[in-house]
Chain A
Amino acid sequence: MQPRKSGGFENMAESASRPEEARPAETRPAEEPGAGWEPVIVGFLCNWCSYAGADSAGTARMVHPPNVRVIRVPCSGRVNPRFILRAFQRGADGVLVSGCHPGDCHYSTGNYYARRRLVLLKRYLEYLGIDPRRFRTHWVSASEGQKFADIVREMTAEIKALGPGPKAKLGELV
């Protein structure tokens, strides 16, 4: 990994425009599986539990693969099913949605609604021909850094074995 410069918006803009080659090889998406191919996993983590859980995995220095690109959302209920399909179409090899445990939602009920949608979506994506192992949903609380690290490790290994995501079969999104 390259040493990270201190934060700030200038740096964010800079890293966004950084050429592909400058990014660490292990996080670079590749079209073909093979030596050095690393899956890209998009993780939608809720602000109040799972994002903090991922954070606690980091602060506790638990080693886990860097393949998950985290998108912080206010609640798992914020995750529109379209986000997930779009992530796959844009080249994600896996998608992870994680929120507060049922009953623990910061907004009381957001994750209950999300659960209905996601359970339905999970079956539906499989129906559409997307391997269900590529889409995982979990409950991770702010203190469950270990669980988050385990999930990421497990998921990365599984998707590595599966190979590149559905983008290869669907074709380019123009």
Chain B
Amino acid sequence: MPRKPMLDIERMRSAEEALRREARRLLADGVVSVFLGHEEGWDGLAVPSFATSPEDAEKLVWNPLVAPHLAKYLLDRLAGDEKVGIVVNGCGSLALERILKDRRFPRERLYIVGIPCTGILDPARVADLPPERRREVLETGRAEAGLFLDRCSWCDVPNAVVSDILVGEPVAEEPTVHEYPRAARLEAMSLEERFEHFKDLYERCIRCFACRNVCPACSCRECCLDQWEPLWLGRATSVPEQQMFHFIRAFDVAGRCIRCGECERVCPMGLPLMDFNDKLLKDIAELFGVERPHVPTDVEPLGRFDPQDPDFEEGAE
């Protein structure tokens, strides 16, 4: 079993201090021209912040609500040769590693501040709490397991996998046996039940592309979903087109998905989008013997092969 997620408010406060100090230094010394972090939004939740001066660094926060991954914002900084600072925790570093392994941003233009992490809360679940309870959770850190992000429940990367400097003491890493309960639940259903489950999802999808835009594995210069020629995805919002949209979105990141669940978190319709990705992760683990399919590697499972791979003519499904 993975380490149980928990909040260590003291630890986060000292990490926040160190983060501000580090960002201030980087910006003042001109090491980076912009620093990507989080700041407090109008509703108290954490939103991405782009600090460009040492004074801006004072706005940066590190609290239980810093769920949004920042790596995707690097793509807006591709032009030019300025150096960019970025703060990542464990899962944030997976997203960053994804962008780096896909060679979408040069590593030498990055200065990465890593923060060891013991768990982050799901902002939507915290926002739903009564005000007193919310204050209590955020001030004392006493939060039940259900308030954490789904990805905390299986996290085996508490410390940043890639960083230039690590702020705070590393968290002990514990090996995790990866399970995919979401996929397993659906697999237990009949074919028709599954079809109806997904049809309901297709019908509710408004195709806002938030899931694609937030996904760290979806970083093509030109997205096939936007192309007119060939028209991979028709513009009508019919069930088959929605099915194609979700098929393309999930299958194109198969083998590269970091299982962060950001797609699901940003979905304005609250659709269970990780139902798709979980199945692909599970099967990739089973079929190709990949123990940690969510950790980016140089050549991903579908970009390589083994002559001894399971074969469909020899009884493999």
Residues of A within 8 A of B (CB): 81-82, 85-86, 89, 102-103, 109, 112-113, 115-124, 126-132, 137-139, 166-167, 169-174
Contact = CB atoms under 8 A, between A and B. Distances in A.
Main secondary structure of the interface of B (DSSP, over half): helix
Contacts of A123: 279, 283, 287, 317
A172 B238 CA distance: 8
Interface residues of B, number: 42
A128 B240 contact: no
Contacts of A138: 312-313
A48 B186 CA distance: 39
B279 A82 contact: no
A107 to B, nearest CB: 13
A120 B302 contact: yes
B191 to A, nearest CB: 6
Contacts of A171: 238-240
A169 B312 contact: no
A117 B192 CA distance: 24
Contact of B236 (A89, A103, A128, A174): A174
Contact of A89 (B187, B243, B251, B311): B243
B228 interface: no
B250 to A, nearest CB: 8
Contacts of A81: 247, 251
Nearest to B235: A174
B305 A115 contact: yes
Contacts of B238: 171-174
Contacts of B280: 120, 124
Interface stretch (B14-22, B28-36, B75-83, B194-202): B194-202
Interface in B237-257: 238-241, 243-244, 247-248, 251, 254
B168 interface: no
A74 B212 CA distance: 31
Contacts of A102: 307, 311
Contacts of A128: 194-195, 198, 243, 247
Most chain B beta carbons < 10 A, residue from A102, A139, A166: A102
B244 A115 contact: no
A25 B9 CA distance: 73
A38 B236 CA distance: 30
Given A123-B283, A127-B187, A82 B240 contact: no
Contacts of B240: 89, 167, 170-173
Given A85-B244, A129-B191, A120 B234 contact: no
B302 A113 contact: yes
Contacts of A170: 199, 239-240, 243
Contacts of B183: 127
A109 B196 CA distance: 38
Contact of B301 (A82, A116, A166): A116
Contacts of A113: 302-303, 305
Contacts of B181: none
A116 B247 contact: no
A172 B234 CA distance: 12
B251 A121 contact: yes
A113 B301 CA distance: 10
Contacts of B191: 126, 129, 131
A102 B313 CA distance: 11
Given A120-B280, A174-B236, A129 B247 contact: no
B194 A174 contact: no
A25 B8 CA distance: 72
A82 B243 contact: no
B62 to A, nearest CB: 38
B247 A112 contact: no
29 contacts: A81-B251, A82-B244, A82-B247, A82-B248, A82-B251, A89-B240, A89-B243, A112-B309, A115-B309, A115-B311, A120-B280, A120-B284, A120-B287, A120-B302, A124-B280, A126-B317, A127-B279, A128-B194, A128-B198, A129-B194, A129-B197, A130-B195, A131-B191, A132-B317, A167-B240, A169-B195, A170-B239, A170-B240, A171-B239
